[in-house]
Amino acid sequence: MLKDESMKTLFTAAINAAIRAGAKIMEVYESGDFHIKAKSDLTPLTLADTLAHDEIKSYLAVTRIPVISEEGRSIDYDERSSWDLFWMVDPLDGTDEFINRTSDFTVNIALIQNGYPTLGIVFAPAHRRIYFAAKERGSYRKTDVLPDINANFDYQEMIENSIKLPITTNNDRLTVVTSRLHISPDTSDYVNELKKQHHDIIVIRRGSSLKMCMLAVGKADIYPRLDTTWEWDTAASQIIAEEAGFSVHSFDDNMRLSYNKENMQNPWFVCKKY
């Protein structure tokens, strides 16, 4: 585990990088000129993705810790397999949500240590909310956080002005959260089975990493994702959910999601209360 001072230094770098990247994203969002292109896998890439990636990579360079980013170059497994500490970044999680102007998009930055997230930041710039967690130090949420290209928060300032998660506990009805735009038939089948098992159930559809953050806050009980996701989609929100009392385990073998696999696609998974 990282020493306390090292964790605080890295936390400060990550949180300011996320807020600065959020400022770049909102500049493009408000301009309406997204410069949409198709990547090799046919998923969309916008100017906001690129600008946020560049801002994060530049700001985190001072930490001298390698970065794996969705929008960065592909790094051979032979090179990264020896990394026991690295940043896992999704500069704009929820690009489809961004394009559709739903506001449910985030900046995700996680620090991976020995294959698992040890620190995570999720910034929702359109909502002006930031969620963060560190291993064995709890999860937090801060509201009214303006996207700011000159963000310069320090660790103590952020902790003192944030609320520890979870905030509420949903005891009345089972609340399930699913993707707003990408819900697979298998996920739908899983939710339908839950409906058979529970007399009263609520299904909420949200975008990006905000789904796991909803659980961490206490506004949902379970998030099934029986569909394709990638390591950068889940790393930051996983530690936020875990530190708030939830597990993030694969659907097939109930193993905790791990990172820096040769194939960086996640297995199907379910996030729920321990």
Each residue's pLDDT tens digit, 223-241:
999 999 999 999 999 999 9
What pLDDT is stored for residue 81 in this prediction?
95
What pLDDT is stored for residue 73 in this prediction?
73
Residue ranges per structural domain of the chain:
4-165, 174-273
Token pair in block for residue 27: 């500049």
Please name which of 239, 262, 264, 266 lies closest in space to residue 252, comparing C-alpha atoms: 266
Query: 113 pLDDT band (50/70/90 cuts)?
Result: very high
Token pair in block for residue 49: 């993705």
Whole-angstrom distance, CA of residue 227 vs CA of residue 121: 23
pLDDT of 90 > 70? The answer is yes
**Lowest mean pLDDT: which of 32-41, 85-94, 131-140?**
32-41
Query: 74 pLDDT band (50/70/90 cuts)?
Result: confident
Each residue's pLDDT tens digit, 1-57:
678 889 999 999 999 999 999 999 999 999 999 999 988 887 899 999 999 999 999
pLDDT of 139 > 70? The answer is yes
CA neighbours closer than 13 Å in the CB half-sphere of residue 272:
13
CATH of 174-273, one of 3.40.190.80, 3.30.70.260, 3.40.720.10, 3.30.465.10: 3.40.190.80
Token pair in block for residue 233: 């989609």
CB atoms within 10 A of CB 184: 16
pLDDT of 215 > 70? The answer is yes
61 phi and psi angles, rounded to 5 deg: -60, -30
pTM above 0.85, yes or no: yes
What pLDDT is stored for residue 196 in this prediction?
92
Token pair in block for residue 130: 């930031």
Do the Cβ atoms of 259 and 233 come closer than 8 Å? Answer: no
What pLDDT is stored for residue 170 in this prediction?
61
What pLDDT is stored for residue 5 in this prediction?
83
pLDDT of 107 > 80? The answer is yes
Whole-angstrom distance, CA of residue 223 vs CA of residue 272: 6
What pLDDT is stored for residue 173 in this prediction?
87
Query: 188 pLDDT band (50/70/90 cuts)?
Result: very high
Cα distance from N-terminal residue to C-terminal residue, the chain: 22
pLDDT of 151 > 90? The answer is yes
pLDDT > 90 fraction of the chain, expressed in percent and rounded:
86
**Lowest mean pLDDT: which of 72-76, 187-191, 202-206?**
72-76
Whole-angstrom distance, CA of residue 162 vs CA of residue 166: 12
Fold of 4-165: Fructose-1,6-Bisphosphatase; Chain A, domain 1 (3.30.540)
Each residue's pLDDT tens digit, 245-269:
999 999 999 999 999 999 999 999 9
Burial status of residue 170 (CB atoms within 10 A of its CB: 0-12, 13-18, 19 or more): middle
CB atoms within 10 A of CB 26: 18
Do the Cβ atoms of 123 and 19 come closer than 8 Å? Answer: yes
The whole-chain average pLDDT of the chain stands at 95
| Residue predicted with more confidence, 41 or 101 | 101
